[in-house]
Amino acid sequence: MGGAAGFSACALLASSRVGQAAGLRRQGRAHQSGQDRAADGAVADSATGDAMTPMGPMPTSARWAYILDSTTSTVLLSRNAQERMPPSSLTKMMTAYVVFAFLASGRIRLEQEFPVSSKAWKMEGSRMFVPLGSSVSVENLIRGMLIQSGNDACVVLAEGIAGSEERFVVLMNEASRRIGLSNSHFMNVTGLPAEDHYMCAQDVAVLAQHLIRDFPHYYGFFGEKEFTFNHIRQGNRNVLVDKGLADGLKTGHTDAGGFGLCASSERNGNRVIVVINGTASTNERAHEGERLMSWAFSSFETVQLLRKGQVVEPNAAVWNGEHKSVGLAVADDVSLTIPVGWSSRVQISVDYPSPIPAPVAEGQKSGHVSVGLPGQPRVYSSLYTVEAVAELGFVGRLMARFGHAPQ
């Protein structure tokens, strides 16, 4: 038999104490610790062609779109987000992830120089214009790859680290699986069209989240507005970065994939990642990216609903204990990103085994609390007992067993 309490977060936002639930009900919800969330289905794609949001359908000119509040891992918008798409130069985010991993481990250094091969020098598409037969520092190659979107820079880095582009691509796919990109596969380091080379918009956002969190010391390369190499000055192709509306990441374009963008910005302690792809032009890409970034920050707020150590159930029943009840407290801070003005719709549920058999240790894990909007994935945190409760002695257990009610 389980004990459960369900209540609105309305009063919780104005008070530091959780009110006692009006009633108990059994819940068979699977437990997740901390603020883990369901990975799929947070915002289901619409059948109408619009993007879906927690507030309902929303039009977008992007064929593929995904917006993530990175701070709380909340999906704010989704359109065809798990559909395979040509990632174009968004691929270079994965190339950068592997390069950054080598830097972080000390296997290469920023000042280290790699030679420019004939293959790299002949690369088509966007370039940083590395001279044939020269050597270029890793630091300049990273800037050429991320600011100038240089295909030649990508190949020089791949050959310098792994010996060949093909062997570097193996590292990309291994890293992709390791960080949980569930619908991505790479055939090259540049994003030039190739069969079996794809990502989905959700994976692009997850990759961006890892770049920001795993390599904060190198993330700044994505936000530089221009770079001059070989007497050729080129600006960052990400208009949101150029306008100061984002601090990274990358743009891309191929005929098959259209014009795409991944951009991230942090405001008031919250970080948002916007991914769009399949727009019709550079102007449409810039306009839609700016519009969606502004919408995400203006339409949502992150609210702390519970504090670590906060008692959410003061009287959880105890069986055969010297005390009839024990308090249950939250193991983690619990915050939720919700549409502005929706705090009254948040539901908080407490789920624990009832009664809890004695002896009970202080800090004993006993159930969980979950928070969420109706129909949306919930945030979970473990509950723990705030004090110890000793087991009744032999006589006390007999009295409890044959008494009118269990302790």
Phi, psi (rounded to 5 degrees) for 289? -65, -45
Phi, psi (rounded to 5 degrees) for 12? -65, -35
* DSSP bridge partners of 56: 53
Q: Which amino acid is at 256?
A: A
Closest Cα to residue 203, out of 245, 289, 122, 262?
262
The CA distance from 120 to 346, in Å, is 54
The pair of structure tokens assigned to 367 is 């159930």
Look up 149 and say whether it is catalytic: yes
Which residue among the candidates 70, 78, 92, 264 is catalytic per the annotation?
92
Would you call 75 helix, strand, or coil by DSSP? strand
Look up 176 and say whether it is catalytic: no
Residue with tokens 């390369």: 221
Beta-carbon contacts of residue 47 (< 8 Å; ≥ 6 apart): none
Which residue among the candidates 78, 117, 126, 149 is catalytic per the annotation?
149
The pair of structure tokens assigned to 118 is 């004939």
User: What radius of gyration do the chain's Cα atoms show?
Assistant: 26
Instruction: Tell me which DSSP letter residue 175 carries.
Output: H
Q: Which amino acid is at 78?
A: S
Which residue among the candidates 89, 264, 335, 343 is catalytic per the annotation?
89
Instruction: Tell me which DSSP letter residue 329 carries.
Output: E
The CA distance from 246 to 303, in Å, is 23
Look up 164 and say whether it is catalytic: no
- As a dihedral over the C-alpha atoms of residue 222, residue 228, residue 233, residue 234, rounded to 10 degrees, the angle is -20
In order, the DSSP letters of 142-173 are HHHHHTS--HHHHHHHHHHHHSSHHHHHHHHH
Beta-carbon contacts of residue 2 (< 8 Å; ≥ 6 apart): 26, 27, 28, 351, 352, 353, 354, 367
The CA distance from 399 to 403, in Å, is 5
Residues with a catalytic annotation lie at 89, 92, 149
